Amino acid sequence: MDKPFWAKYRREQLAHVHGEILEIGVGTGLNLPHYPTHVRKITTADPNPGMNKRLQRRIAETEINVDKRVISSEELPFDNETFDCVVSTLTLCSIPDREQAMGELFRVLRPSGRIHFLEHGISPDAKIAKWQRRLNWLQQRFSDGCSLLVDLPKLLATQPFASIEIDNFYMEQTPRTHGYMYRGTAQK
Ligand SMILES: C[S@@+](CC[C@H](N)C(=O)[O-])C[C@H]1O[C@@H](n2cnc3c(N)ncnc32)[C@H](O)[C@@H]1O
């Protein structure tokens, strides 16, 4: 995820974020250098304090004011309609209760607000999906609960988004089982 070829995808995905921004699963802060210069402040939600050291270094290196919260996306301590944008990159795969989290993301988004996502998930190719199902237990055990089987359109359909745009592709330099990508936005 910190390989240089990811940087371009992160930058493109963040190009149009604005206003009050919530980034879920901030991890070590790999997105921080890729926010557009107009972004002055973001709020982050990640329950894992283990990532703190590298995140703190990246926070120190950015001019963005980061309100870092050690919290889960399934239970966000924010009022309804607080954020203009939610950013999720390679995070939904790691969230234990994705449907509950999606409900929370929808709740905290303002009307017309958007989720900007760059996520991996289940491939529509039956042969690849079969291998994803076979390998999923290994992935979950050794990659901190990460699932190869996220069906993002199905997950987004659990909330009444006004419009959804998704672009699918296989990520370069990544096995197809791990690199079927969903990139796009869902607007409330
Ligand atoms: C694979 S990492 C991705 C990190 C970062 N988003 C990136 O693009 O490099 C997944 C992140 O999701 C976080 N995570 C796991 N469960 C979560 C939850 N319930 N709510 C929010 N973040 C969660 C993990 O702690 C981890 O930082």
Closest residue to atom 27 of ligand 1, CA basis: 27
* Ligand 1 and 89: CB distance under 6 A: yes
Please give the pLDDT value at position 70: 94
Q: Say if residue 71 is exposed, middle or buried (CB neighbours under 10 Å; 0-12, 13-18, 19+).
A: middle
Planar angle of CA 120, 44, 177, nearest 5 degrees: 10
pLDDT given at position 10: 96
Nearest to 5 by CA among 35, 30, 40: 30
pLDDT interval class at 53 (50, 70, 90): confident
Q: What is the pLDDT of residues 102-123, one digit of tens each?
A: 999 999 999 999 999 999 999 9
Cα(91) to centroid(ligand 1), Å: 4
Give tens-digit pLDDT for 118-171.
999 999 999 999 999 999 999 999 988 999 999 999 999 999 999 999 999 999
Q: Tens digit of pLDDT for each residue in 17-51?
A: 999 999 999 999 999 999 999 999 999 999 998 66
Whole-model pTM? Answer: 0.96
Domain extents in the chain: 4-187
For domain 4-187, the CATH class is alpha beta
| Residue 71 Cβ < 6 Å to ligand 1 | no
Question: What pLDDT is recorded for position 124?
Answer: 97
